Copies of this chain bind each other. A is one copy, B any other.
Amino acid sequence: MSTARRPRADARRNYERLLAEADAAFAERGIGASLESIARGAGVAIGTLYGHFPTRRALVGALLRERNEALFELGDRLVADNPPGALATWVRAVTEHASTYSGLAALLAGGLDDEASELHESCLRMAGTGERLVALARASGTLRPDATGADITALTTAAAALREDLSAAAADRLVALCLDGLARRP
């Protein structure tokens, strides 16, 4: 059934080199780092980069693949086990994930509504996990009844932006305050 072919050895090598170089560049100079400099650093022509990754988002998506899997694994486990503080754990994990590269938070926020985005699927899945954890917390009476999954999406997006614009400490504090605001009053 599979129509997949083994890629040519040089293609595979270029692919890996581009990923490694892009990761370094995005980590250092943010998600807007020049694609030309990435191609140069990987030792390939600019056309080769575009051959493997037609858009910047495709490159980001490929880089995030492993991190996404780890994140979703955590999410599934939290939903299944529903341990105390599951929601807070999830919010912190997503915030960290969205802070992998500076500028990523905005890209992820945009990927939620943009079906054409290579990040759309993982954004949807993150939102879905948030919804489920909110439903669980509400059912167990630890959350305001009007809390929604959208609140969690907003909170993680805001916290990730704060990490970029101000500091991780400010972001952590905001998360704590908001979760406090979301908690059910005794």
Chain A residues packing against B (C-beta within 8 Å):
105-106, 109-110, 150-151, 153-155, 157-159, 161-162, 164-166, 170-171, 173-174, 176-182
Contact = CB atoms under 8 A, between A and B. Distances in A.
Contact of A106 (B154, B155, B165): B165
A106 B157 CA distance: 14
A99 to B, nearest CB: 13
Nearest to A182: B177
A97 to B, nearest CB: 15
Contact of A178 (B153, B166, B171, B174): B174
Contacts of A157: 161-162, 165-166, 170
A184 to B, nearest CB: 12
Q: Give the top 10 A-B pairs by smallest Cβ distance, nearest first.
A: A177-B181, A161-B161, A181-B181, A180-B181, A109-B165, A158-B158, A154-B170, A177-B178, A106-B165, A158-B162
Nearest to A170: B154
Contact of A170 (B105, B150, B181): B150
Contacts of A179: 181
Contacts of A181: 176-181
Contact of A162 (B161, B171, B180): B161
A177 to B, nearest CB: 4
A109 B182 CA distance: 26
A173 B161 contact: no
A176 B177 CA distance: 11
A31 to B, nearest CB: 13
A154 B150 CA distance: 20
